[in-house]
């Protein structure tokens, strides 16, 4: 019996695998190599197969699978159901200390995690009771936890489930009494440490077989190594041939997006140099925030990758769709909730243009309920067939059935998804999606069955009660889809990486609070209580111990590469603020300094700008034809961001209708105020009557719900209009025109068309343009600043158009804000009545402003016709309010630059 120990990368695993190879060369099948996870077992089987060894899959397996023959009568607790049992225990009898937080999902998850920690360490309720009688810190909280733990243990007994520690204990007893048949040699590798139940099992195994264990030399395994020594295991430091240190490179990227793109680019460079994808790995500290970014980047660069992460079952599109339909049914088919389900791709309707039209039509009519109301909005047969299937669920809300009956009923939800039509030559990506869907269906039904098993089987319950239990089970279940591809980049967390060796390894996200993470004391048991319990023989981790584990994990991550190690981190966060690099990088630098007289190469990331223009000539010609005439507001949209203009004015994408409470927003209020002013000038009726008519028509048309917010907005708008009428300046003898259309050539084949809010003309032909904005003083100041920066040209173009169409002499242009106060600002040629308003200038200076706006508009039109579509916002603060932010790929370079400038 032997324990091989040593730091990460010291050769422990290589020595274990060499012993396995020796056994295979002799044709032996009387050994087992046990590892912590199924993916590790799969990786090692593939490695042996690539080396030419023929072996049965059962020779390399997980510890859980190894003990399965001896514990067939003790099924393991489904991980998804432990939180459900905690929920039931708290609902039945919540201790006083937990009463106020008992129904909070986060608290229930913390309790379930703590129960798992105690159970895995071999501490059941009886043992914990004995320890607590001796006294520990936080005794009331510990006693409250014990009460919940006892209730959960009783529930486990009722359900016929056994915790992992109990299964290991039963397996040990069976092995001692029955032996292990033809197994005479057992190897263990990949374990960080071994706790009491595993040690008890090894004590049973060693009476029938020789055992060799690889354990890393670190604080967390010290107790296990001491216990193994007490069982008679020899201790030996791994003394294999030292592996050469990989070439280490440090890559500080500007942002996290650029970091993952740089990783993808370097992978492609290595493949071009002859390295296989399967020889490359990316190691993460955890899922967030890198996993979704890496998925997108690697797919965009065409890099095949396998992600060694189980996904939350509830996040899979199939499960989200099925749960969304049930949620809509329980809500009486509320149109908002039903639309959310219909829009999902799994419905078979969500990706169609008909669904988009239905969504807009339904949102314009919210609130609403009932499937019939949705049928009236579309005559698409696919929608009607889908709603008919939805309708079959409606009776469930009023029925009472036993949990097994509800589980059987929920399995019929599969019928809400149309199965794909299989054929020949199916693309690999499509086949992978189908495998994922099949796995999701299977996992969904398993979780439903587990939820039913966790509830009393004979008692009829309403569907709402069963679905709450099912939701908890689904929320805790994980989904792992089989991926048998060989030549792929391996993306894994640091725990999975412990048994891998790859030629090139990327370790990203090396920031403080990301790698390393910083751990707080537990929310239920303090570190003081944990230390007291550990003195009584338990092995609970304190926050300090978890913090020291971070350094060990970093050592694992940085010892997986045999040839090249690339470390990276983003210098700035999404706000442009500087990030704090991981202090672990200093350790790498010190090691490099000692080993080679230098530190890791610091390679600055060079930005690679995306294409700014369309490249297809047919598309460019279409852009030219579509935009022969432009509105000033469209030009301003382009000047703010070419991509925003492309999406809104070229593709013609529309924003979704606002929710009912948001319908009377700034846009509609501005339209009401504009129309009221126009109607007032045209009809000369009293403003109260005009505004009431316009307001009621707009609210009826837009289905604005009545209420105090609507009434408050009405009163404010009417007050603002009366204030404007009282303060409006109209020089004697000037003619006022409102909402007048205008169209004129700007030059170079570019036409301008639009509608002027108001312009005044004097007897001698001088013209002043007013651009009304239902904004406050700050909004008008922003418009003036935008005009001076060249982003706003509307007022100047309208004044220029009046000159070209009617021959009027430009005399002034103003922005007029009406919200809260009349705010008038702009430029004029010293007009009477406008003293102290805006900026007075000479006619020549005003004309130069008009020509500058014309030149700006012409340059914008030329860029539009050349097909410029890049996401390059002029004012980045407006990006957060852009309706198309979700489809925009802005490279955040300005914010870091601003942060660096501020730091100087």
198 DSSP 8-state letter: H
Q: What is the pLDDT of residue 901?
A: 41
Asked if 781 and 795 touch (Cβ cutoff 8 Å), the reply is no
Checking DSSP bridges between strand 31-35 and strand 629-630, what pairing results, if any?
unpaired
Residue whose tokens read 């949990």: 403
Tell me the per-residue pLDDT of 771-822, one tens digit each, with 9 for 90 and over: 999 999 999 999 999 898 888 999 999 999 999 999 999 999 999 999 999 9
Alpha helices by DSSP H, listed for 789-825, are 794-806
Enter the DSSP assignment of 613. Answer: B
Per-residue model confidence (pLDDT) at position 270: 94
Using pLDDT thresholds of 50, 70 and 90, give the confidence band for residue 427. confident
pLDDT band at 895 (very low <50, low <70, confident <90, very high): very low
Strand arrangement, sheet containing 502-507: 305-307, 489-493, 280-284, 502-507, 561-570, 247-253, 601-602
Whether the pLDDT of residue 893 is over 60: the answer is no
Label residue 561 by pLDDT band (50, 70, 90).
very high
Mean of pLDDT values over 316-345 = 95
The answer to whether residues 248 and 588 touch, using CB atoms and an 8 Å cutoff, is yes
- What's the pLDDT at 566? 95
Q: Which pLDDT score is estimated for 240?
A: 58
The β-bridge relationship of strands 735-747 and 766-773 is: unpaired
| Residue of 670, 629, 679, 682 whose CA lies nearest to 801 | 629
**What's the pLDDT band for 611 if we cut at 50, 70, 90?**
low
For every residue of 619-688, DSSP letters joined together read HHHHHHHHTSEE-HHHHHHHHH-HHHHIIIIIS---PPPPPGGGSSSHHHHHHHHHHHHHHHHHH---HH
Provide the pLDDT confidence category of residue 875 given band limits of 50, 70 and 90. Answer: confident
Strands (E), 358-431: 400-401
- pTM of the entire structure? 0.81
The pLDDT-based confidence of 510 (bands split at 50, 70, 90) is very high
Return d(Cα 15, Cα 215) in angstroms, integer.
12
Closest CA to 462 of 390, 408, 396: 396
Write the CB contacts of 296 (distance below 8 Å, at least 6 apart in sequence).
260
Q: Judge contact between 814 and 839, C-beta under 8 A.
A: no
Q: Is 257 helix (H, G, I), strand (E, B) or coil?
A: helix
If you average pLDDT over every residue of the chain, what do you get?
Answer: 89
**Residue appearing with tokens 């706000």:** 575
Segment holding 283, helix H or strand E: strand 280-284
The CA-based angle 223-228-232, given to 5 degrees, is 145
826: left (phi over 0), alpha (psi -120 to 50) or beta: left
pLDDT tops 50 at residue 903: no
When pLDDT is averaged across residues 420-447 and rounded to a whole number, the result is: 87
Residues in the chain: 904
- Three-class SS of 114-178: HHHHHHHCCCCHHHHHHHHHCCCCCHHHHHHHHHHHHHHHHHHHHHCCECHHHHHHHHHHHHHHH
Q: Would you place residue 599 in the very low, low, confident or very high pLDDT band (cuts 50, 70, 90)?
A: very low
Q: How confident is the model at residue 609 (pLDDT cuts 50, 70, 90)?
A: low
- Distance between CA atoms of 792 and 798, rounded to whole angstroms? 12
Q: Residue 19: exposed, middle, or buried by beta-carbon count in 10 A (0-12, 13-18, 19+)?
A: middle
Burial zone of 297 (CB within 10 Å; 0-12 exposed, 13-18 middle, 19+ buried): buried
CA dihedral of 346, 351, 352, 355, whole degrees rounded to 10: 80
Rounded mean pLDDT, 659-663? 89
204 Cβ contact partners less than 8 Å away, ≥ 6 residues apart? 171, 172, 173, 175, 176
Going by their DSSP bridges, the two strands 629-630 and 809-817 should be labelled as: unpaired
pLDDT of residue 894: 42
Half-sphere exposure of 226 (CA within 13 A, CB side): 6
Closest CA to 846 of 786, 783, 795: 795
Instruction: From residue 849, give the alpha-carbon distance in Å to each of 749, 757, 807, 854.
Output: 22, 20, 18, 9
> Residue 610: its pLDDT value, please?
55
> Taking a C-beta distance cutoff of 8 angstroms, is the pair 34, 66 a contact?
yes
Token duo for residue 293: 């970014």
Q: Tell me the mean pLDDT in the region 11-20.
A: 91
Weakest-pLDDT range from 221-235, 355-369, 591-605, 843-857: 591-605
In DSSP terms, which residues pair with 281 in a beta bridge?
Answer: 490, 505
* Per-residue pLDDT tens digits for 752-763: 999 999 999 999
CA 744 to chain centre: 48
The pLDDT value recorded for residue 890 is 63
Q: Tell me, what DSSP letter sits at residue 826?
A: E
In Å, how far from its chain's centre is CA 128?
A: 40
pLDDT, position 605: 46
Strands 629-630 and 478-479: unpaired
**Contact between 758 and 729 (Cβ < 8 Å):** no
pLDDT digits (tens, 9 = 90+) for 383-425: 999 999 999 999 999 999 999 999 999 999 999 998 887 777 7
Distance CA 876, CA 643 (A): 13
Residue 609 to residue 140: CA distance in whole angstroms: 61
Q: Which two tokens stand for residue 437?
A: 């869907």
Residues of the chain with pLDDT > 90: what percent? 67
Q: Which residues pair with 186 in a beta bridge?
A: 32, 211
Using one digit for the tens of pLDDT, what is the confidence trace for 84-128?
Answer: 999 999 988 889 989 888 888 889 889 999 999 999 888 889 989
Distance from C-alpha of 151 to C-alpha of 389, rounded to nearest angstrom:
41
The pLDDT, as a whole number, for residue 457 is 83
What would the mean pLDDT of 555-581 be, rounded to a whole number?
92
Q: Return the residue matching tokens 């190690």.
A: 565
Give the mean model confidence (pLDDT) for residues 338-342.
95
pLDDT value of position 760: 94
CB 414 within 8 A of CB 389: no
Q: What is the pLDDT of residue 904?
A: 34
Q: Cα-flanking dihedrals φ and ψ of residue 550, to 5°?
A: -60, -40
d(CA 31, CA 24): 9
How much is the pLDDT for 804? Answer: 94
């Amino acid at each position: 019996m032997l324990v091989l120990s040593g730091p990460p990368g010291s050769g422990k695993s290589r020595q274990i695998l060499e012993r396995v190879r020796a056994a295979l060369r002799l044709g032996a099948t009387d050994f087992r190599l046990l590892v912590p996870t199924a993916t590790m077992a799969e990786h090692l089987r593939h490695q042996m197969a690539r080396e030419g060894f023929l072996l049965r899959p059962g020779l390399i397996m997980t510890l859980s699978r190894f003990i399965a023959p001896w514990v067939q009568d003790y099924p393991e607790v489904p991980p998804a159901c432990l939180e459900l049992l905690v929920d039931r225990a708290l609902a039945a009898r919540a201790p006083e200390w937990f009463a106020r937080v008992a129904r909070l999902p986060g608290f229930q998850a913390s309790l379930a995690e703590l129960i798992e920690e105690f159970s895995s360490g071999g501490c059941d309720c009886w043992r914990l009771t004995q320890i607590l009688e001796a006294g520990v810190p936080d005794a009331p909280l510990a006693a409250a936890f014990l009460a919940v733990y006892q209730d959960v243990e009783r529930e486990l007994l009722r359900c016929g489930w056994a915790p992992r520690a109990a299964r290991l204990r039963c397996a040990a007893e069976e092995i001692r009494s029955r032996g292990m048949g033809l197994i005479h040699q057992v190897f263990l590798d990949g374990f960080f440490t071994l706790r009491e139940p595993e040690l008890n099992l090894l004590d049973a195994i060693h009476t029938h077989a020789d055992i060799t264990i690889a354990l890393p030399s670190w604080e967390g395994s010290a107790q296990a190594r001491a216990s193994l020594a007490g069982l008679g295991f020899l201790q030996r430091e791994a003394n294999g041939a030292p592996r050469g240190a990989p070439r280490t490179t440090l890559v500080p990227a500007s942002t996290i997006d650029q970091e993952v793109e740089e990783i993808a680019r370097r992978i492609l460079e290595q493949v071009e140099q002859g390295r296989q994808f399967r020889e490359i790995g990316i190691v993460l500290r955890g899922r967030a925030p890198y996993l979704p970014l890496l998925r997108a980047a690697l797919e965009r660069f065409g890099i095949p990758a396998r992600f060694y992460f189980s996904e939350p079952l509830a996040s899979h599109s199939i499960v989200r769709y099925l749960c969304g339909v049930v949620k809509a049914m329980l809500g009486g088919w509320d149109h908002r909730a039903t639309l959310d389900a219909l829009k999902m791709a799994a419905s078979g309707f969500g990706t169609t243009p008909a669904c988009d039209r239905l969504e807009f039509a339904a949102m314009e009519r919210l609130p609403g309920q009932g499937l019939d109301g949705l049928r009236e909005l579309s005559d698409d047969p696919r929608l009607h067939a889908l709603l008919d299937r939805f309708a079959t669920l409606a009776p469930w809300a009023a029925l009472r059935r036993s949990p097994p009956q509800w589980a059987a009923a929920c399995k019929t939800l599969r019928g809400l998804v149309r199965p794909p039509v299989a054929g020949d030559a199916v693309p690999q990506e499509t086949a992978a999606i189908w495998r994922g869907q099949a796995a999701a269906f299977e996992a969904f039904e398993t979780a439903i069955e587990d939820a039913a098993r966790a509830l009393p089987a004979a008692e009829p319950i309403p569907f709402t009660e069963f679905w709450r239990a099912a939701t908890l089970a689904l929320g805790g279940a994980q989904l792992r889809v089989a991926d048998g591809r060989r030549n792929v980049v391996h993306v894994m967390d640091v725990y999975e990486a412990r048994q891998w060796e790859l030629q090139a390894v990327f370790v990203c996200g090396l920031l403080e609070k990301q790698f390393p993470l910083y751990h707080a004391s537990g929310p239920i048991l303090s570190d003081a209580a944990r230390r007291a319990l550990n003195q009584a023989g338990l092995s609970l981790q304190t926050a300090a111990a978890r913090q020291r584990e971070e350094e060990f994990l970093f050592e694992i991550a940085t010892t997986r590469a045999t040839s090249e190690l690339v470390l990276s981190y983003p210098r700035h966060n999404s706000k442009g603020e500087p990030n704090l690099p991981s202090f672990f990088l200093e350790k790498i630098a010190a090691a490099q300094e000692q080993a080679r007289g230098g530190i890791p190469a610091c390679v600055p990331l060079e930005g690679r700008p995306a294409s700014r223009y369309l490249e297809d000539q047919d598309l460019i010609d279409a852009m030219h034809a579509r935009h022969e005439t432009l509105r000033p507001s469209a030009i301003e949209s382009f000047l703010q961001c070419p991509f925003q203009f492309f999406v809104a004015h070229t593709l013609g994408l529309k924003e979704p209708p606002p929710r009912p409470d948001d319908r009377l927003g700034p846009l509609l209020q501005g339209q009401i105020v504009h129309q009221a002013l126009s109607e007032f000038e045209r009809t000369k009726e009293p403003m109260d009557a005009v505004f009431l008519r316009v307001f009621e028509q707009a609210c009826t048309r837009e289905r604005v719900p009545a209420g105090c917010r609507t009434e408050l907005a009405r009163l404010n708008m009417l007050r603002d209009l009366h204030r404007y009428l009282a303060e409006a300046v109209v020089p004697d003898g000037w003619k006022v025109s409102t909402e007048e259309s205008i169209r004129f050539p700007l030059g170079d084949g570019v036409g301008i068309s639009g509608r002027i809010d108001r312009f005044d003309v004097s007897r001698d032909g001088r013209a002043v343009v007013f651009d009304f904005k239902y904004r406050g003083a700050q909004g008008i100041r922003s418009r003036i600043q935008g005009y001076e920066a060249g982003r706003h040209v509307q007022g100047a173009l309208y004044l220029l158009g009046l000159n070209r169409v009617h021959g009027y002499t430009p005399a002034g242009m103003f922005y007029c804000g009406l919200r809260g106060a009349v705010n008038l600002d702009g430029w004029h040629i010293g007009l009477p009545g406008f003293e102290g308003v805006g900026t007075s200038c000479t006619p020549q200076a005003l004309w130069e402003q008009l020509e500058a706006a014309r030149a700006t508009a012409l340059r914008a039109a030329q860029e539009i016709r050349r097909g410029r579509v890049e996401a390059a916002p002029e004012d980045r603060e407006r990006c957060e309010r852009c309706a198309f932010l979700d489809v925009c790929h802005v490279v955040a370079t300005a914010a870091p630059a601003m942060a660096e400038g501020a730091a100087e």
